[in-house]
Structure 1
Amino acid sequence: MFQIDIIEQCKNNDRRAQMALYKQYCQAMFYVAMRYLKNEDDAEDVLQESFIKAFQKIHQFKGEVSFGAWLKKIVIHKSIDFIKAKQLKTVELQESYMQVVEDGDWSVEDGVRVKQVLQAISDLPVKYRFVVQLFLVEGYDHGEISNILKITPTACRTRLLRGKGQLKELLKKKKYVTGS
């Protein structure tokens, strides 16, 4: 059965088609939620809420992007909303104390695993973590990130530049990066 047929059946509230779509995407979307939430129970909750929302809003899916990309956006929004709902307290950094780190010439050592880089990203302050993660891991551009996080494109670029600089320093401390 083609995916477009499954989606059309889901639009008609076909439970078997919904289960087929769920089985096809649940593991990948769980990993997306885990990158944000770092807790399996929370990620499972967000995953369930995301699928419920997706099936409720499936009539809005027009096929302009893949279903997976459409669903991934829902999972990311739900993950960020979950974190905000937990009222994650962050301390506002004083911009005047921060130094913009230019993107120098640096590369990751050959033996470094993706898991190590993702761990370093998760160690970034929340203000920078989401922008870096959405840009480097999820592949969103500045406009999309600005919309998702409800920040200006300029703030997005600034946070990405600073977040990448901090990421570089974290990786240097862990001896994963070479170069200046």
Structure 2
Amino acid sequence: MFQVDLIEKCKKNDRKAQLKLYNQYCNAMYCVSMRFLKNNDDAMDVTQESFIKAFRKLDQYKEEVTFGAWLKRIVINSCIDFLKAKHQNHLSLDESYVYISEDNDWNVEESISIDEIKKAIEMLPEKYKYVVMLYLIEGYDHSEISQILNIQETTSRTQLMRGKNQLKKLLIAEKNGTRH
């Protein structure tokens, strides 16, 4: 069965088609949730809720992007909403007045592993961590990040630059063995 046919059946509330589509994407979407939430139960809950949202809004899917990309956006937004609800007292500074120069140098020393980079990203303050994750790991640009996080593009650029600088410091400390 072609993806388009499967989606059309899902739009008509065909439960078997919905289960097939769910089984096709559930593991990948769970991995996306885990990257943000770091908790198995929370990731499973958010993934399930994301599929429910997706099936309810399936009529809004216009095939301008792949279904997986559309669903991934729902999952990421759900993760961010979950984290925001968990941290409602988080104060965000307006950084839109700052001019940022583009610095696309993400090179790190070859001796630093992917796992060390992921651990260092987890140590970043939340306002930097999510922008870095969306940009570096998920591949979104500043326009998309600004929409997802409901911030201005200049704020996204500022937080990415600052997050990248802190990430480099963390990785240097890791390499030199000064971090505990």
TM-score range relative to shorter protein: 0.7 to 0.9
- How far 1:91 sits from its partner (Å)? 6.2
Cα offsets for 1:9-33 (capped at 9, x unmatched): 1011111111111111111111111
Partners in 1 of 2:106 and 2:9 — Cα distance? 49
Query: Offset at 1:119?
Result: 1.6
Match in the other structure for 2:84: 84
Tell me the percent identity: 59
- Provide the C-alpha distance between the structure 1 equivalents of 2:105 and 2:133, rounded to a whole number of angstroms: 20
CA distance in 2, matches of 1:119, 1:38: 11
**1:95-174 correspondence to structure 2 within 5 Å:** 103=103, 107-174=107-174
Query: Residue by residue, what CA displacement relative to the aligned partner does 1:23-73 show, whole Å, maximum 9, x if unpaired?
Result: 111111111111111101000000000000000000100100000000000
2:23 aligned counterpart, secondary structure: helix
Cα distance, 1:132 vs. partner? 0.6
Alpha-carbon RMSD across the aligned residues, in angstroms, is 2.4
Alignment of 1:50-89 (within 5 A): 50-87=50-87, 89=89
- Matched AA of 2:160: L
Displaced runs of 4 or more, over 2 A = 87-93, 100-116
- Give the corresponding residue for 2:42: 42
CA contact (8 A) 1:102 1:165 kept: no
In the TM superposition, residue 140 of structure 1 has moved relative to its aligned partner by 0.6
TM superposition score normalised by structure 2:
0.87
What's the CA shift for 1:107?
3.0
2:112–2:175 Cα contact (<8 Å) kept: no
Task: Write the distance in 2 (CA, Å) between the matches of 1:38 and 1:124.
Answer: 14
Which segments of 5 or more consecutive residues in structure 2 lack a partner in the other structure? Answer: none
Confirm or deny: 8 A CA contact 1:129 1:163 kept in the other structure: yes
- Asked if the contact 1:103–1:165 (Cα under 8 Å) also holds between the matched residues in 2, the reply is no
Closer, same or farther: CA 74–157 of 1 in aligned 2, 3 Å: same
Secondary structure (helix, strand or coil) at the match of 2:128 reads helix
After superposition, the C-alpha distances for 1:58-104 in whole angstroms (9 at most, x for unaligned) are: 010010000000000000010011111112554668x8xxxx99959
Q: Which residue of 1 aligns with 2:26?
A: 26
Q: State the aligned residue count.
A: 172
1:11 aligned residue: 11
